[in-house]
Amino acid sequence: MTSTLDVGASGGTTVEPEPVHGRQIALVDLLDRLLGVGVVLAGDVVISLAGVDLVQVRLHALISTIRSDMVEPR
């Protein structure tokens, strides 16, 4: 990483240090910050056959049910 030549705010351009590990902010990092919440994806699975969506399995609901039934403390 190159060191910076910072001429200061009063006139003259400030040269930023070279970004570390690539110039671009990863999309996931950018979306987290721009949308204001950790980006979350729905855990749904769509099963399609020959390009036709047939079944949408709502795994959240299914798994939550199984987990709460199975791990109830006695």
Partner 1 sequence: MSEAHRLFPQRLETDAESVERDLFKLVLTIIELVRQLMEKQALRRVDEGDLTDEQIEGLGTGLMHLEQAMEDLKSRYDLTTADLNIDLGPLGPLLSE
Partner 2 sequence: MTESGRYLYAIARGLDPSVLAGVPALAGGRLEVVEHRGLEAVVSTVDLEEYGEDGLRRNLEDLAWLEEVARGHDTVVQAVATHAPAAPLRLATICLDDDGVRERLDSSHDALEEVLDRVEGRREWSVKVFARPRPAPQQAVPQPTTGGGAAYLQRKKAESQAREADESSAAVVADEVHERLAVRSVAGRRLAPQDPRLTGRSETMLHNGAYLVEVDEGDAFAALVDELASAHPEVTVECHGPWPPYSFATLEQQ
| Residues in touch with partner 2 (CB under 8 A) | 1, 3-4, 6, 9, 13-14, 16-17, 19-22, 25-41
Q: What is the smallest separation between the CB atom of 34 and partner 2, expressed in angstroms? A: 4
Q: Exposure string (b/e) for 30-61, b if CB count within 10 Å is 16 or more?
A: eeeeeeeeeeeeeeeeeeeeeeeeeeeeeeee
Helix (H), strand (E) at residue 42: none
Q: What is the smallest separation between the CB atom of 69 and partner 2, expressed in angstroms? A: 21
20 vs 42 by CB, closer to partner 1: 42
